[in-house]
Structure 1
Amino acid sequence: MPDSRREALQRQIEAAFADAPHPGDDRIGYDADDWESAELARAFKGRQWKELSPVELQYHSSSFLSSEGFRYYLPAYLLAALEDHGNLMPHTVYGLTLPQGSSPEEQRLRAWQLERFEVLSPTQKRAVRAFLEFARDEASHYFSQGQEPRLALERYWEQQ
């Protein structure tokens, strides 16, 4: 029996991130002074990405990870989202979507997201793009407008 698209994508994600370096316990969260970032860092401290449960991932948004933490823990979010755990699919896609707009806040957020995306290797970026293509094609029911994965792809990942 041939592998399903989901199973092939799971293997692609695991392989792409297999050698991602741990950020170090002091570089998990993006801001030690932000309570959500600090709480996430405490919860993930000393733990491998494969050890995190979907419940923990749903509670601790990837938005509060440092760039190094994002590179290391992203596969946990991607894989849990593929398994239909709560709100992880829309939240994961949202975290992979560059904001548009010209306000200073939108520009600051865009620069921060680009910084996080740029630490990923080409192989990791291809795995993220494959995840977003899967979300677009197979998981549109998770999204209120159904366009969110397409926007993430158009704004950054299709060019990778």
Structure 2
Amino acid sequence: MNFNDIVDNLVRSFDHEPHPGEANIVYDNSGYHLEAQAIRQAFTPFTWQAMPPELLHEEQSCLGFLSRAGFKYYLPAFMRLALTDYHRADMIPDNLVFSLTLPIEADIIASAIDIKRDQMDEKMPGVDWNDILQSQLQSLNQSVHEFIARAALFNSDQGRVIYQFLAHLRDEHSDDFLNQEPAVAIQRYWFQFA
């Protein structure tokens, strides 16, 4: 599927998405988080359809500061820019793929704890390695939970266009992703929308 078809599908599936409202663009509206406050102020005047490319370039690292509703609402603006002007999009495709990938740090943490336990059991016989694992997984669970909570907001048409976007990156720009990150994102979650 060429990128123009994906852009058409993107516009069609996100076109009637309601704006989250100024108070729900970023995850922190306390006034103490200066970067979140700046992003909210910059994004408030724009619908996702009217986001200036310059602003998207300027705020290309903002996805992590958006609330769940803000992420869902502004995601298509970033995706459209990555599709229509990939080579000038800079880090936007990488940031999108990262934000759309289900974390698997649980496997890494569990493996690291197993290795550490095997190495240290004789030196530290009374250590409860399950407590250490649970402590590590607790922080990871927040990141997995956040991904699932955001992903659950997308309807099937929106999920399908996210899959198409990731498949396009996988097929057309695989050389730009050393670890095949778009394919990994698809395999971990978005395959279900193929």
Note if contact 1:22-1:72 (Cα within 8 Å) is conserved in structure 2: yes
Which structure: larger Rg?
A: 2
In structure 1, what is the equivalent of residue 132 of structure 2?
none
Determine what percentage of the aligned residue pairs are the same residue. 31
Give TM-score, length-normalised by structure 2.
0.75
CA distance in 2, matches of 1:88, 1:96: 12
The whole-number CA distance in structure 1 between the counterparts of 2:55 and 2:147 is: 22
The 1-side partners of 2:47 and 2:167 are apart by: 26
Summarize the Cα distance change of 1:17–1:63 in structure 2 as closer, same or farther, 3 Å threshold. same
Mapping of residues 120-139 of structure 1, within 5 Å: 120-139=154-173
CA contact (8 A) 1:90 1:142 kept: no
User: 1:104 and 1:150 mapped to 2: Cα distance?
Assistant: 27
Measured in 1, the distance between the counterparts of 2:139 and 2:58 equals 25
State the AA in 2 paired with 1:99: P
Report the 3-state secondary structure (helix = DSSP H, G, I; strand = E; otherwise coil) of the residue aligned with 2:26: coil
Deviation at 1:146, TM superposition (A): 4.0
Instruction: Report the TM-score, using the length of structure 1 for normalisation.
Output: 0.90
C-alpha displacement of 1:157 = 0.6
Structure 1 residues 53, 46: closer, same or farther in 2, change over 3 A? closer
Give the equivalent residue in structure 1 for 2:105: 101
Map 1:47-126 onto structure 2 (within 5 A). Answer: 47-60=46-59, 61-82=62-83, 83-84=85-86, 85-102=89-106, 103-126=137-160
**How many angstroms does 1:142 deviate by?**
2.5
Structure 2 gaps of 5+ residues are 107-136
> 1:152 aligns to what?
185
Q: Does residue 21 of structure 2 align to residue 24 of structure 1?
A: yes
Query: Per-residue displacement from partner, 1:18-55 (whole Å, max 9, x unpaired)?
Result: 11110011100012243332221111013111222233
Partner Cα separation in structure 2 for residue 106 and residue 58 of structure 1: 29
Aligned length: 156
